[in-house]
Structures are given as structure tokens and as C-alpha cells.
């Protein structure tokens, strides 16, 4: 049996901070990371924080490019937090949510692409940031992949990946495994992002998986709802799947929170706008665990034992900050069956 605490073996050293040589030896990388520090806002920087999470949880996530994309500062920050957690015998380790989330998205995406509806499906990553699924996942070999984010983010990402490819860094990791990979510079709050996506080759009639990982709660309520409605409207055209993480209200109302959109009941919200099937998991559920949350006193176990309607824990008054992992789908067949049912019931 596994003898793990928070995903790390008892007898194993906690991950050391090993910076890839290229971060220092490449003038290009030094320059782009200096630009990120000087010029990027918190939204764009969140892309590097997320990559740092995948890099520091490399004992469970194989993402060799993550450290190059994250840069030294974000790696150091997270490493320090993890070391503090270790010294304090914390019940959960910094970055564990990100690790579970990444593994959950990977597994749901792979399962769908291996299903009859998923064969050759397009995959669109909205707010793709420094995500490297196109380089990591073999299951994308028959998929056209589109990465949508701000122009500055995608340009820097391309520059870093190009520098990795041209260096002695294991070039096998710098090759996309997807059938095709297209970067689309767009702001998903604007009205033209879908048009830009289509100009880049996205086919509205083709089965599609939309990945919304770490993005919805950075949007205002109106922008997030508009985005979800656009995706739901695709269910009448083709088999459509969204994989998304949702914060609940308590998560967004902490002081200094930069988060805006929340939903306490995404499993009710998504059917109300046109998705017919919704599955919801919480961190720590059997399908959102991955052996990383073995301390019985971890926060996620506590939350899962409380009704979802509670915004504060009755025992200690702490806010119940939840992150829901949600898979929703719809298709023209399901939609017409759903509509017929609604007519019969009305
Ligand atoms: C927390 S990061 C997540 C990145 C990626 N999905 C991942 O999990 O690694 C959020 C990303 O969303 C992008 N983003 C935020 N608002 C956006 C918008 N309105 N349009 C396009 N991208 C946006 C940011 O630039 C950033 O790359």
C-alpha cells in the first residue's frame, strides 16, 4: 500500500528546487522572464503561477516544460510555501489543488477523446496560459488543438518553447503531440473571439472539448455567463463538452480576492443554459483525489462532509472555500430529446 502524505513518500525528500539550466543560460529566456516581471498584470502572471505548480508537483505531473514557462520567481515562491507547509506539518501542501485539478482535467479529457463521440474532436483551451497539454498528452494525436489567450501571453509562450526547441533541452519534450496546434490571440470578454477562432480553423460543426481551467473566476459575472452561454449554444450544432473549474461564493469573497465569477451550484446552472449532462466533483472525491490527499484531517475532507449550501463552517466559522471540477456536455440528439421532454412535461 502507498505510504504517502499529501502525495509525497514519507521517506522521500520534499521536492528540491531544481531550476533548469536553460533558465539562466538562455539570454532569450532571461529577457522574456524579465519582461513578465516588469510588464505583465496579475491576470497574465497567473499563467506562470499555474505552470510553477505543475513544475513543483513533478513527482505526479509529467510536464518538463513547466519550469521554463513558469520562470525562477514563481518556482521559488511556491517552493518556499511548500517548505513552510512541511515545517508546520500542514494537513495539505501548497499547490495540491493545482495538482489534483491538472490530473482531473487530463483524465476527463483523455476519457472523452477515447470515447466514440470524442474521436478526432477539436480541443479548445480558453485562457490557455502556459498549459502544455498539446506537448504532454498522447491522446491529442488526432485532435486539432487551439490555445486562446492574450497576445502577450501567447507570444512569450511561443518564444520560450522555441528557445527550448533550439537548445540542448530535451527537444523531444518541445514537440507538439497534437494533430495540429494553433494559438489564437483573443480576449474572451470581447465579442470577436469566436470569429478569431473560426478564422484560425476551428469548425463549429465538429465535436469539441472546451477546457476552461483556472479561468472562469477571473471574469466578471456577466462575461463568464456570456461565455458559458456561447459554449452551451454549440450543443445544438455538435457534441460539445466543457471541462471547467468553478469557485463557490466564499472563495471569491475573501478580502483581497481578485476573483469575480462564482457559482455555488454549477450542476444546476449549466443545465439551465443548455447542457444536458453534468458531473461535478469536489477536490478529494474518489475521482478527484489521485492519492494526493491522504491526511484525514485535510481541509478538503472537512469541506466534503459539510452540506454544499453552507458558506461557513459551523464548527469554527471558517469560510467554506470550494473548487468544483465540472464536466458538462450536450449534443443535437440530447438537445432534441431534452426539448421534447420539456414540452411533454409543460
Ligand atoms: C490561472 S491562468 C490558467 C492558465 C491555464 N488554463 C492553466 O491551467 O495553466 C489564467 C489564464 O487566463 C488568461 N486570461 C484571463 N482573462 C482572459 C481573457 N479575458 N481572455 C483571454 N485570456 C484570459 C490569462 O492570461 C492566463 O493565462
User: Looking up cell 506537448, which residue turns up?
Assistant: 135
- The angle at the Cα of 212, spanning 102 to 186, to the nearest 5 degrees, equals 125
- The DSSP output letter for 146 is E
Q: Are residues 47 and 149 in the same domain?
A: no
Distance, CA of 45 to CA of 35 (rounded, Å): 11
Sign of CA dihedral 223, 225, 231, 233: negative
**C-alpha 131 to ligand 1 mean position (Å):** 10
Please state the domain count of the chain: 2
Q: Are residues 213 and 188 in the same domain?
A: yes
Distance, CA of 302 to CA of 322 (rounded, Å): 11
CA distances, 254 to each of 2, 3, 247, 299, 320 (Å): 36, 35, 12, 17, 11
Residues of the chain where predicted confidence (pLDDT) is lower than 50: 1-12, 340, 342-346
Distance, CA of 22 to CA of 198 (rounded, Å): 36
Ligand 1 pocket mutation pick from 149, 196, 247 by most atoms within 8 angstroms of CB: 149
In this prediction, residue 315 carries a pLDDT of 87
Of all protein residues, whose CA lies closest to atom 25 belonging to ligand 1? 44
Distance, CA of 178 to CA of 60 (rounded, Å): 22
Do the beta carbons of residue 325 and residue 284 sit within 8 Å?
no
Indicate yes or no: pTM above 0.75. yes
Q: Are residues 104 and 64 in the same domain?
A: no
Ligand 1 pocket mutation pick from 127, 153, 189, 244 by most atoms within 8 angstroms of CB: 127
Q: Are residues 223 and 337 in the same domain?
A: yes
Write down which residue in 53, 87, 121 finishes a domain.
87
In this prediction, residue 49 carries a pLDDT of 97
Of all protein residues, whose CA lies closest to atom 2 belonging to ligand 1? 47
Which of 22, 18, 17, 39 minimizes the C-alpha distance to 156? 39
**C-alpha 193 to ligand 1 mean position (Å):** 14
5 domain residue, yes or no: no
Length of the chain: 346
Q: Are residues 197 and 296 in the same domain?
A: yes
Given the CA of residue 50, which atom of ligand 1 is nearest to it? 9
259 domain residue, yes or no: yes
In this prediction, residue 346 carries a pLDDT of 42
243 domain residue, yes or no: yes
Q: Are residues 49 and 146 in the same domain?
A: no
Ligand 1 pocket mutation pick from 39, 40, 41, 43 by most atoms within 8 angstroms of CB: 43
Given the CA of residue 127, which atom of ligand 1 is nearest to it? 12
Do the beta carbons of residue 291 and residue 2 sit within 8 Å?
yes
Q: Are residues 53 and 145 in the same domain?
A: no
In this prediction, residue 1 carries a pLDDT of 32
Distance, CA of 178 to CA of 147 (rounded, Å): 12
CB atoms within 10 A of CB 80: 12
In this prediction, residue 338 carries a pLDDT of 55
CATH, residue 292? 3.40.50.150
CB atoms within 10 A of CB 107: 13
Residue 121 belongs to what H/E stretch? none
Does ligand 1 come within 6 angstroms of the Cβ of 129?
A: yes
Does ligand 1 come within 6 angstroms of the Cβ of 185?
A: no
**C-alpha 74 to ligand 1 mean position (Å):** 16
Q: Are residues 160 and 294 in the same domain?
A: yes
Q: Are residues 128 and 200 in the same domain?
A: yes
Do the beta carbons of residue 99 and residue 53 sit within 8 Å?
yes
Given the CA of residue 51, which atom of ligand 1 is nearest to it? 9
Does ligand 1 come within 6 angstroms of the Cβ of 48?
A: no
**C-alpha 17 to ligand 1 mean position (Å):** 25
Q: Are residues 169 and 83 in the same domain?
A: no
Q: Are residues 178 and 40 in the same domain?
A: no
| Pairing status of strand 277-282 against strand 323-330 | antiparallel
Of all protein residues, whose CA lies closest to atom 14 belonging to ligand 1? 127
**C-alpha 241 to ligand 1 mean position (Å):** 19
- Which residue range(s) make up the domain with 79? 14-87
In this prediction, residue 29 carries a pLDDT of 96
Q: Are residues 111 and 30 in the same domain?
A: no
Quick one: the chain helix, strand, coil %, rounded to 5? 45, 15, 40
**C-alpha 336 to ligand 1 mean position (Å):** 34
Backbone φ and ψ for 339, nearest 5 degrees, come out as: -65, -40
Does ligand 1 come within 6 angstroms of the Cβ of 147?
A: no
In this prediction, residue 6 carries a pLDDT of 45
Write down which residue in 87, 114, 132 finishes a domain.
87
6 domain residue, yes or no: no
Does ligand 1 come within 6 angstroms of the Cβ of 44?
A: yes
317 domain residue, yes or no: yes
- The DSSP output letter for 150 is -
251 domain residue, yes or no: yes
329 domain residue, yes or no: yes
Write down which residue in 87, 117, 147 finishes a domain.
87
Amino acid at each position: 500500500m502507498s505510504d504517502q502524505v499529501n502525495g509525497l513518500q514519507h521517506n522521500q525528500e520534499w521536492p528540491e528546487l531544481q531550476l533548469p539550466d536553460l533558465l539562466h543560460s538562455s539570454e532569450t529566456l532571461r529577457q522574456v522572464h524579465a519582461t513578465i516581471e516588469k510588464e505583465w498584470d496579475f491576470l497574465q502572471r497567473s499563467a506562470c503561477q499555474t505552470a510553477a505548480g505543475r513544475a513543483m508537483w513533478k513527482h505526479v505531473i509529467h510536464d518538463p516544460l513547466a519550469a521554463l514557462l513558469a520562470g525562477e520567481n514563481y518556482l521559488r515562491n511556491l517552493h518556499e510555501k511548500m517548505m513552510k507547509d512541511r515545517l508546520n506539518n500542514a494537513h495539505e501542501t501548497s499547490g495540491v489543488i493545482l495538482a489534483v485539478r491538472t490530473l482531473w482535467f487530463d483524465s476527463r479529457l483523455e476519457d472523452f477523446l477515447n470515447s466514440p463521440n470524442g474521436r478526432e474532436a477539436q480541443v479548445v483551451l480558453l485562457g490557455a496560459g502556459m498549459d502544455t497539454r498539446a506537448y504532454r498528452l498522447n491522446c491529442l494525436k488526432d485532435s486539432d488543438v487551439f490555445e486562446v489567450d492574450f497576445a502577450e501571453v501567447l507570444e512569450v509562450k511561443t518564444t520560450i518553447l522555441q528557445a527550448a526547441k533550439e537548445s540542448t533541452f530535451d527537444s523531444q519534450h518541445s514537440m507538439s503531440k497534437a494533430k495540429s496546434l494553433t494559438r489564437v490571440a483573443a480576449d474572451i470578454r470581447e465579442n470577436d473571439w469566436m470569429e478569431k477562432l473560426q478564422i484560425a480553423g476551428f469548425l463549429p460543426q465538429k465535436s469539441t472539448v472546451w477546457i476552461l481551467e483556472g479561468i472562469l473566476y477571473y471574469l466578471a459575472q456577466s462575461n463568464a455567463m456570456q461565455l458559458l452561454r456561447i459554449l452551451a449554444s454549440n450543443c445544438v450544432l455538435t457534441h460539445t463538452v466543457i471541462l471547467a473549474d468553478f469557485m463557490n461564493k466564499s472563495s471569491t469573497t475573501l478580502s483581497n480576492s481578485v476573483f469575480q465569477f462564482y457559482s455555488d451550484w454549477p450542476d444546476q446552472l449549466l443545465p439551465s443554459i443548455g447542457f444536458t449532462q453534468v458531473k461535478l466533483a469536489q477536490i478529494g472525491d474518489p475521482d478527484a483525489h489521485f492519492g494526493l490527499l491522504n491526511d484525514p484531517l485535510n481541509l478538503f475532507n472537512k469541506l466534503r462532509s459539510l452540506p454544499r449550501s453552507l458558506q461557513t463552517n459551523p464548527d469554527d466559522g471558517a469560510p467554506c472555500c470550494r473548487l468544483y471540477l465540472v464536466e458538462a456536455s450536450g449534443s443535437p440528439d440530447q438537445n432534441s430529446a431534452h426539448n421534447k421532454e420539456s414540452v411533454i412535461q409543460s
